[in-house]
Amino acid sequence: MNIQELEKKAREIRATCIQMSCDGKEGHLSSSLSYVDVLVALYCGWLKIFPDDPLNPERDRFVLSKGHGCTSLYAILADRGFFPKELLTKYNREDSTLPSHPCIHTLPIMEMSSGSLGHGLGVASGMLYGLELRKSKARVVVLMGDGECNEGSVWESATFAAAHHMDRLLTIVDYNGIQAVGRSDEIMGHTSLEEKFRSFGWGARTIDGSDMKSIVETLGQFPFERNKPSAIIAKTKMGVSFMEDDVLWHYRKPSEDERQKALAELNAKPIYGQTK
């Protein structure tokens, strides 16, 4: 896909997330919308994936550590053909394959169950250590939230990954600037995540995470430094103007008016048929 096609796909995935939030009656919309551009760039070109054989040992592993942002992951997996798009109508229903936080028991193609923060990087480092023992060339990508970087366990894992020169490990921090009850900048004391990762022995870059060209180019330069794990601090946006920079969208679901307004602005349709 070229940049325009990727951007179009990102709008469709955002429209799908908004529809899923309405249908599934679940919030966390901002957490899903913010990293859609990154996710599309990963799944529509960068990651080695096998939709017909999801657990192929040669696949690149994608670990969604911020499990609350799973609607966009479900949407892109359906879009790429990992499961039927109609399954998205079941998002957040009781006994659903697609719960509000990913669960490998209900959807075994997920790399891990998530929902509690600060675990993805540690689990990913174990996967990569194992892959390297097996002489595999697969890469492991972890998607974390900026708020998630508050967790101390993240930095235990960051230390380990650098000490073991894990240059096939990529961490992407979805820097949407918003946590559950405040701004991540204020909570982290206006310190730089890029500098933190660098000082932990990583190659790190801060990019405009809503600029598809910048995302694709940056991914193309992975690994950023030889023998070092790589981190991208992606400054992201929701992609819907009236939702930008508002902590409220961590919780609320769009009303019917808001749904229509958002889809009109995105100029895109959900990838699955609506339930009503």
Partner 1 sequence: MRRAFSKALCSAAEKDPNVIFLTGDLGFQVFDEFVSCFPERYINVGIAEAQMVAMAAGLAKEGFRPIVYSIASFMTARPFEQIRICVSYPDFPVLIVGAGGGYAYSSSGVTHHAGDDLAIMSLLPGMTVIAPCDPTEIEMLFPQMLKLKGPAYMRIGKFGEPEVPAVEPPVLGKARLLKQGDKVAIVTTGDLANVALEAVNDLHKDGICPLFYHFHTVKPLDIVTLEQIVSKAHTLIVIEESSPVGGLASSIANWIAYGYYKPRLIRLGPPDKFLYSNPARETISKRYGYNKQGIIDSCKQAWQKV
Shortest distance, position 203 Cβ to partner 1, whole Å: 20
Residue closer to partner 1, measured from CB, 31 or 113:
113
Alpha carbons 220 and 140: distance in angstroms, whole number: 15
Residue closer to partner 1, measured from CB, 118 or 270:
118
CA distance readout (Å), 197 to 122, 152, 157, 169, 229? 15, 13, 11, 13, 9
Alpha carbons 264 and 276: distance in angstroms, whole number: 19
Interface residues with partner 1 (CB under 8 A) are 104-105, 111-113, 115-116, 118-119, 121-131, 133-134, 152-153, 156-157, 159-160, 163
Residue closer to partner 1, measured from CB, 101 or 261:
101
Residue closer to partner 1, measured from CB, 45 or 115:
115
Shortest distance, position 234 Cβ to partner 1, whole Å: 23
Closest CA to 171 of 113, 219, 129, 214: 219
Shortest distance, position 117 Cβ to partner 1, whole Å: 10
Shortest distance, position 131 Cβ to partner 1, whole Å: 6
Instruction: Please classify residue 23 by burial: count the beta carbons closer than 10 Å to its beta carbon, then call 0-12 exposed, 13-18 middle and 19+ buried.
Output: buried
CA distance readout (Å), 225 to 21, 44, 131, 133, 217? 39, 24, 20, 22, 15
Does an H or E element contain 213, and which? helix 212-220
Closest CA to 168 of 143, 126, 194, 140: 140
Residue closer to partner 1, measured from CB, 84 or 108:
108
Shortest distance, position 152 Cβ to partner 1, whole Å: 7
